[in-house]
Every structure is written in structure tokens, then in C-alpha cells.
Amino acid sequence: MSFRAHILGAAAGGGLPQWNCGCENCNLARAGKIPSQTQSSLAVTADGASWAVLNASPDIRHQLAQTPALHPTGLRDVPLASVLVTNGDIDHVAGLLTLREMQPFTLFATAGIHEVLSANPIFDALNSAVVLRETIALDTPFALTPTLTATLFAVPGKVPLYLEGEQVQTDLIGDQTVGVRLEGGGTTAYYIPGCALMNDDLRGRLDGADAVFFDGTLWRDDEMVRAGLGQKTGARMGHMSMSGEDGSIAAFVGMDIGRKIYVHMNNTNPVLRPGSPEHAEAGAAGWTIAQDGMEITL
């Protein structure tokens, strides 16, 4: 029995290529010169028989089709025990609409995230007779699968873009953006696809972990602005960058972590080009850049 994490999708919202984007990376991906990546989702198991999907991306139908371990074994039997969503962002919840089809599983989220879903009747497509929506309190362990225990905890972040008001707090600590601690198969791993900054609480949790899957949205804070794609910095979007003094590469230096894996890369991030200096720099700092279909066994 070992812990396995399967990268269903390595990219942030929009994916690589993003449908309407003509940036360097998106054009390279369309031309087949760098690998395409679907949107942010991770499947985990500690026994190989019962899986949980962490975040349901809009690409989930394609992702599951590419993942034999999650294919049905009978007319309607799939080895999916549960789905957990870590915020209400579209790249993390839209795939729930694909998981209709009268398939039983448990949908785990905090009260705040469940409220976002409940405010949208379209999610009633997940028939409540077969899909149980279970509310999870922060810092309270629960059985994600029969052999995996999960604990949710607050990380600095913001509300989803489509719920932003006039004022937006980008480092809100609450139940709208959470990280996940996973324990099973003798392993402790963390999954944090969105995080606005590193603080002492988070550093204390992560130190000593066997693996951390961490927010790799941007290489540098003004990357999208420089690419001419918009006015928003990473900080404004609630994501800390990889590089720089306040970046995650620097923040993790000195911590004792077995495997460090970046997930949720925006299409502008140069680490998505396997031959780029930034990809090499992240690698030299001990980080793996996730790719669709990659499996991490611990």
C-alpha cells in the first residue's frame, strides 16, 4: 500500500493552450512544440483501489479518459470515492457538472465553498440522492477515502473572480481557499494549488512533509502584464510567484520536504517550456514541474 498522486491537470485556469490566447507558450503548445496541459486537478489514492479527485477541472472528462486507473470497471462502476474542492474558482468546480450521470461519490468542501455551489442551481445536476455534499470544518481530519485521511486548513487567498466585489482582499484567511493535508500509506503530503503568501503557520505545517504540491501559477508577479495580456499581477490574483525574494522557491529554502512539485501553472509561466532557464532554475532548487499524466508514488 503506497500513496500515489496522479496529475490529472497541471495548468491553471484556461489551460495550455488557453482557447483565446496567442502568447508564446500557447502558440508553442498549439504547434506541438511543448506539451499541452489541462487544468488543475490531482487524483490521489493510498490503496490503488479507491481514489479521490482534488478539484474538478473543466477538462475532467478528457482527463479521466486519459487515466486508466479511473476508468469504469463495470457498467457504472468507477473507483472514485470522493471529490474535494479547495476553492470556488471555475477551474476547480466546473468539472463537477461533468460528474453528473447518477454516479455516487462524496463531495467534500468547506461551508464557504459549499455555499458558492449551492447558490448555483446548475450544480443540482449532481443528484443529491447519489452525491452526498459533506461540509468539512477547518483543521478537522476526515476520511477522504477508506485509506486516506485529509485535513483542510486555511491558506491566504481570495474569493473567486466571479464573486469579487469592488474591494478585494487578496490574502484573506478563511474557508474560501484551503490547503489539504493528506495522510495514508505511511505518507504525509500537502496539496496547495492556490496560495497568496507564505506565513509562519503554513511553514510550520509543511516542514517535514514527504511531498508538497504547491501553487506554481506565475514565475514572476508581473508576468501577465509584461506579456500584454492584462493588468493583473500574481499578487492581485491571490497567487505568490515562484521567483524573487517573496517567491515560493525562496520561501521553501531550508525546509525539510521530500518532494516539492509545482502545480497550477498559468499558460504564461516559462517553466511550461521544458528547455527554459526558468524550468532549469526551478529544477536546480529541487522543484518538479508537474505535467499532465505524471504520477508521484511515495
Total residues at the site for a second copy (CB under 8 A)? 52
Is the separation of the CB atoms in 86 and 178 below 8 Å?
yes
Task: Write the CA distances from 263 to 5, 47, 144, 167, 185, integer angstroms.
Answer: 12, 23, 21, 28, 22
The 183-222 site mask, x for binding a second copy (CB under 8 A), equals: ----------------------------------------
How many of the other CB atoms lie within 10 Å of CB of 167? 5
Check binding of 139 to a second copy (CB under 8 A): no
Check binding of 30 to a second copy (CB under 8 A): yes
Q: For a second copy, which stretch binds (CB under 8 A), given 122-130, 141-149, 189-197, 201-209?
A: 122-130
DSSP state of 49: S
State the Cα–Cα distance between residues 113 and 109, nearest whole angstrom: 6
Q: For a second copy, which stretch binds (CB under 8 A), given 40-48, 196-204, 223-231, 235-243?
A: 223-231
Distance of alpha carbon 183 from the chain centroid: 17
State the Cα–Cα distance between residues 141 and 149, nearest whole angstrom: 6
CB closer to a second copy, 102 vs 132 = 102
Using CB under 8 A, pick the residue from 48, 230, 274, 277 that binds a second copy. Answer: 230
DSSP state of 39: B
DSSP state of 16: B
Closest separation in Å from C-beta 25 to a second copy: 12
Check binding of 19 to a second copy (CB under 8 A): yes
Cell of 31: 504547434
CB closer to a second copy, 60 vs 209 = 60
Binding residues (CB under 8 A) for a second copy: these are: 14-15, 17-23, 26, 30, 36, 58-62, 64-65, 71-78, 80, 90, 93-94, 97-103, 116, 119-122, 124-125, 161-163, 227-230
